[in-house]
Structure 1
Amino acid sequence: MPPLKSLQHQFPSIDSNLLHFCASHGIFSVEDFLVHDLYMLVALAERQTSSKGLKEGIAQVLTFLNNQHFPWMNGVELLESTQHNKHFLLTGFDGIDTLLCGGLCEGNLTELAGPSSSGKTQFCLHAAAHVAYTYMCSVLYLDTSNSFSSKRISYRVNRLLASPNKGEKGRSLEGIMSSILSHSVFDIFSMFETLHQLELSLSSQLFQAEIQNSKLRLLIVDSISSLITPILGGKGPQGHSLMLNVGFILKKLAIDYNLAVLVTNHTVVGEGGNSKPALGESWKSVPHTRLLLSRDQMSNICNMSILKHTSMACGQTASFRLDG
């Protein structure tokens, strides 16, 4: 992200007065701007004699952020990108892995939407355990609503270790559990800071000691809607801009570091009374893949259908059983 000063020639309201005001609050770049509490920043700006100009400048920084996108790619580049990212991580649910032609695609952002108690968190925990066990890699689980359960993870890992491949390559419960790192993130600004630190770690080829320097291949955010819903609905553009930019950063991490990124979202009632993913039309364009989860409340049978996919037709479905 560029320094704020570099935007002066493009946005006249981003002037020396705004730069001085932002600097007094430790904001020197667009990235600093993102991780700052914008509501607090606007409230501080309103106390200044030049509040109108400051708020116009803040709005223009948000406009710049809204207009950010990945560079245009020609057909050859798109084909190469598709071929490069055709690596999948098996989730451990055979029906779902078949439905997705191999599982979660590295280099892609996948959204799993479903109503409360539909099994989204159980799916994520199961996938985290299976990926860490199968690929001997690291998994980062960003928990936004106290949903992470080490007990469920260990249950799943122990079942995998009890399979015919038990003991292969020296795998153990302790080793696999240590490669699954959970981090609690309860507001959008903490999320920006966490993703910023993650990118610094990945770009320097270093990672926290808790995951034993093994390669990170799966990033889970459960749930993205818990962070975004509270900031939407206001009169200003801040919530909408923050939503799009957290999506942009997640996609950038997926593409730049070839991660499989999985986020969960809740559902709302759409036309005709059918369920649809929350967060509106703007968010709809963010994920590469969108999946809708439902569950038979009388059993542990879940159904998953494809709402959006880069290479598959929508509407295809598969069933699987949750067992813990």
Structure 2
Amino acid sequence: MVLLREGMCPGLDEDFVRRLRDAQVKTVEDLVSSDMEDLAQKCSASYKALIAIRRVLLAQHAAFPVSGADLYDELLSSTAILSTGNPDLDALLDSGVYTGEITELAGGPASGKTQVCLGVAAHVSQHLRQNVIYVDTTGGLSAGRLRQMLRTQTSSDDEQMEALQRITVHRAFDIFSLLDCLYRLGGDGGGGGGLRQASSHGGSVKALIVDSVSAVIAPLLGSRHDEGMYMKSQVAITLKAMAKDFNIAALVTNHVTRSVEGEVQPGLGVSWSHVPRTRVLLERLPDADIDRPTRRCATLIKSSRRPCLIRAELDLQWWSRSERDTSGKRKLDRADS
């Protein structure tokens, strides 16, 4: 379901959207399935204007057939792979995060999700010279931490500042703020579309990071379950559309829960599990000690390219080391079933 919003098409202004909502027409699906004559009377609107809006919305949102050959050609011409900056994580993800897709990092508190997001943002900005949109919903983003990571990649203050300027930060601490932010970035909120515009430093936006989606969705899945499910679907639809339409790599984080059998699994339920193309579970190592406090176990639990249940041992300090020991021990083995 797609919410009706001001500016989605010509003629759909704020007043028109309000009148449609008063008539219980809140989504594109509601409008296109309504009786136009009846709706025109309820909204005191022009029948011809409603027909025109309906025609435009059908053109924008209806599914049209396409051949497999066309899809494959589009894939070859548009897909790019962005290195995360961590060779172990890249190997687990089959070279990195892919544009046009959503990649999810799931983990409990202190599992390293934000650290990985910061590391990816720093690497894409500094080494790949691409712009990054970082949506912080928890207050976990630290500009000082980003600067520290960039210092290990370049000693030039100018290069560090240029890299920081390629990372645009948005803060959204509730689901409504997050959706508003995503709509504005996609160009639906009348702000010009942050993903369409190249930054003043050149390049294009290639990565969208949301840390975390569950922080703003999960609170609604309790007493306000129906509203929470609806909002969750809106976030999913918007993120998938942005990744595909703007050819960006979307990286999101999620919390974890325990199944009936006691196994750790990503949160937000079965319906959300279909949203990310790739899912990685981050966990502390069972034998972690004071000599290895930054080591984590990453398990590939969903992928369209690699066998699932592959594990890698990650060092969260990789993005912060000026001298990296590439001869260190790396594990990439199939997990025990």
SS in structure 2 at match of 1:237: helix
Question: Comparing 218-227 with 83-92, which one deviates more in the overlay?
Answer: 83-92
How far off is 1:17 after superposition?
7.7
Q: 2:154 aligns with which of 155, 158, 161?
A: 161
Is the partner of 1:272 in helix, strand or coil? coil
* 1:273-309: CA deviation from partner (whole Å, max 9, x where unpaired): 1110000011111111111111235321111111111
Compute the displacement of 1:257 (Å). 0.9
* Residue in 1 that maps onto 2:175: 188
Aligned to 1:88: 81
Displacement, 1:233? 2.9
Note the C-alpha offset of 1:72. Answer: 5.9
> Aligned-pair distance for 1:84?
3.3
Checking the alignment, whether the CA contact within 8 Å between 1:202 and 1:257 is kept in structure 2 is: no
Amino acid at match of 1:284: S
Corresponding position of 1:10: 33
* Deviation by residue 1:19-49 (Cα, 9 ceiling, x = unmatched): 47xxxxxxxx99xxxxxxxxxxxxxxxxxxx
AA aligned to 1:186 is: F
Q: How many residues align?
A: 273
2:5 matched residue in structure 1: none
Residue in 2 aligned with 1:280?
Answer: 269
Look up the match of 1:301: 295
CA drift at 1:83 = 2.5
**Mapped partners of 2:309, 2:151: distance in 1:** 35
Tell me whether 194-203 or 307-316 shows the greater mean CA deviation. 194-203
For structure 1, the 5+ residue unaligned runs are 21-28, 31-67
1:206 aligns with 2:197: yes
The structure-2 alpha-carbon separation of the partners of 1:69 and 1:304, relative to structure 1 and needing over 3 Å to count, comes to farther
Residue 71 to residue 157, structure 1, CA distance change in 2 (3 Å): farther
Shift of 1:171: 6.3
After TM superposition, give the deviation of residue 76 of structure 1 in Å.
2.2
Structure 1 residue aligned with 2:214:
225
**Contact residue 69 and residue 248 of structure 1 kept, 8 A:** no
The match for 1:103 among 81, 96, 101 is: 96
Residues 15/238 of structure 1: CA separation in 2 closer, same or farther (3 Å cut): farther
Q: After TM superposition, give the deviation of residue 215 of structure 1 in Å.
A: 1.0
1:50-100 deviation line (CA, Å, top 9, x unaligned): xxxxxxxxxxxxxxxxxx897665432442343234421111111111121
- With over 3 angstroms needed to count, the CA separation of the structure-2 counterparts of 1:70 and 1:213, relative to structure 1, is farther
SS at match of 2:153: helix
Whether 2:114 is the aligned partner of 1:121: answer yes
Distance 1:248 1:265, change over 3 A: same
Give runs of aligned pairs for residues 25-64 of structure 1, distance below 5 A: none
Percent of aligned positions with the same letter in both sequences? 30
Task: Give secondary structure in 1 for the equivalent of 2:210.
Answer: strand
Assess, with a 3 A threshold, how the Cα gap between structure 1 residues 174 and 186 changes in structure 2: closer, same or farther.
Answer: same
Q: Report the aligned-residue RMSD.
A: 3.0
TM-score (norm 2): 0.72
- Give the secondary-structure state (helix, strand or coil) at the position aligned to 2:114: helix
Aligned residue for 1:178?
A: 165
- Between the aligned partners of 1:130 and 1:264, the Cα distance in structure 2 is 18
Residue 311 (structure 2) aligns with: 317
Runs of 4 or more, structure 1, over 6 Å off, are none
d(CA) in 1 for partners of 2:225, 2:121: 37
Find the aligned partners of 2:262 and 2:235 in 1 and give their Cα distance: 29
- Report the Cα offset of residue 176 of structure 1: 0.8
The offset of 1:311, in angstroms, is: 1.8
In structure 2, how many angstroms separate the alpha carbons of the residues matched to 1:246 and 1:204? 17
| Secondary structure, counterpart of 2:197 in structure 1 | coil
